[in-house]
Amino acid sequence: MAGGTARPAGAAPDEEGTSRMTFDGDEQTPRATTLDSGLRVVCARRTRAPVVAILILYGAGSLRDPTGLSGLAHLAEHMMFRGSARFPDGAVDDITNRLGGVNNAVTTNDYAAYYFVFPKESWRVALDIEADRMTSCLLNEAAFATERNIAVEERQMVDDEPEAVLDEALQRIAFEKHPYGLPVVGLLADLERAGLSDLRRFYESWYTPGNAVLAVAGDVAPELVFEAANSSMATLAEAGRRGPSFEAPEPEPTQHAPRSVRIRRDSGIPRVSIGFRCPAALQADSPPLDLVSVILGTGRSSRLYSRLVASGGDVNDVSVDRMLQSHESLLTVTAELSEHGDLEACEDAVVDETRRLARSGPSSDELSKAKSLWRLERSLGCETSLGLAGHLAFWEFEDGWERGDQYEGAVLSATCDDVARVAATYLDPDVRNSAWMLPAG
């Protein structure tokens, strides 16, 4: 059963958290600076483990995909691992393994994030690698053809996963105009249409120091990080790659009626996913909506689990999920039913619970418990240095790392009336989006 705490969209997978949680008094307040190249750097020292996480976040998510070329941002992530003259194909993984570290990347709607975790003696190597591949990736036809084929295979694998198919269907009907309605992995026709020149333009436009945040967390002093980053990335200013300014897409038009889609699959397991459009991370109503998510779907005593699963009906599992994003996103309720479960009755029950929360709000005890659960999940997500780096990078790119602390304060100061108000405003069943997956036949 999934929980209900919102996740920053740019954080490393399952590693989001709050930047001010302390452990054994070893964590210092983050510090930030901006290099001459325009690269923003934020660092938090934490000495309890001899490791350092290095994460660079680019405003290069699928939101930047050109029209008709969905999946290009994700394909660019693949190409960033194909090497350069200094670090040939495979060298980054070889170096990482030799030094006893890990590295990976993730692309979301808003961002592309690349990260390393190294023993504290080796963290500078990550800066050299990132500085090099920001400007010197080898973009050749052979590598591009290989990676495009891999991306096509990933697209086909997603089509074989019922949960992913349901999620994509929900996004499509919720965002009919906004790019968030398109899958990050892209559409098959768009992937097959993409060429190397398209990818090169994307790379040269968005993989620039002025469109990136470098976040470092772990057993290293911020002064050393700033000095090393300035040294490793000094040539980036000379390259003058600042890229075009990003024109944010037009907001999704106001929704005036429910939308729904029905999908038939051979999986034999009925599923329903209901999405309510919610504000962006920086909007004032976003923090109390985190508590709405927790109250509805975190833990066995949550309202939806108690009603739909613990009651012994035909719902096997229910989850509530919300991802913090730069633009409007979804609060999603997903339920998996038994073979002969009643999807309509399940959706009706979800709607009834959202109406009840909007009408009466939570009790003071329920709100207090929700805040404790929210804070616990954030603390666990931030327990690793990588989780902290992902959190800092997301908020620094959005509006400065301090906004993460302000967000936490807004969640923990929300009242019962705040929760009821945002539930009534955003969980309006008359403008909900629902996707059903039914057994074939």
Q: Express the helix, strand and coil content of the chain in percent, nearest 5 each.
A: 45, 20, 35
Q: Are residues 234 and 290 in the same domain?
A: no
Q: Are residues 352 and 388 in the same domain?
A: yes
| pLDDT recorded at residue 140 | 94
Q: What is the mean pLDDT of each run of 10 residues along the chain (441 residues)?
A: 47 40 63 92 95 98 97 97 92 97 97 98 96 92 96 95 95 97 97 97 93 97 95 68 77 96 87 97 98 96 96 93 95 94 96 97 97 94 94 97 96 98 97 94 66
Question: What is the domain extent for residue 276?
Answer: 259-439
Task: Please give the Cα distance from 184 to 309 (Å, whole number).
Answer: 32
User: What secondary structure letter does DSSP report for 66?
Assistant: P
| pLDDT recorded at residue 266 | 80
355 within domain boundaries: yes
| pLDDT recorded at residue 436 | 97
Q: 145: domain CATH number? A: 3.30.830.10
| pLDDT recorded at residue 268 | 72
Q: Are residues 263 and 160 in the same domain?
A: no
Q: Are residues 424 and 323 in the same domain?
A: yes
Q: Are residues 201 and 281 in the same domain?
A: no
245 within domain boundaries: no
Q: Are residues 180 and 323 in the same domain?
A: no
212-218: strand order across its sheet: 31-34, 40-45, 212-218, 51-58, 112-119, 102-107
Number of domains in the chain: 2
| pLDDT recorded at residue 199 | 97
254 within domain boundaries: no
315-324: strand order across its sheet: 7-8, 315-324, 329-337, 271-278, 433-439, 259-265
User: What secondary structure letter does DSSP report for 175?
Assistant: -
| pLDDT recorded at residue 18 | 35
373 within domain boundaries: yes
Q: Are residues 235 and 304 in the same domain?
A: no
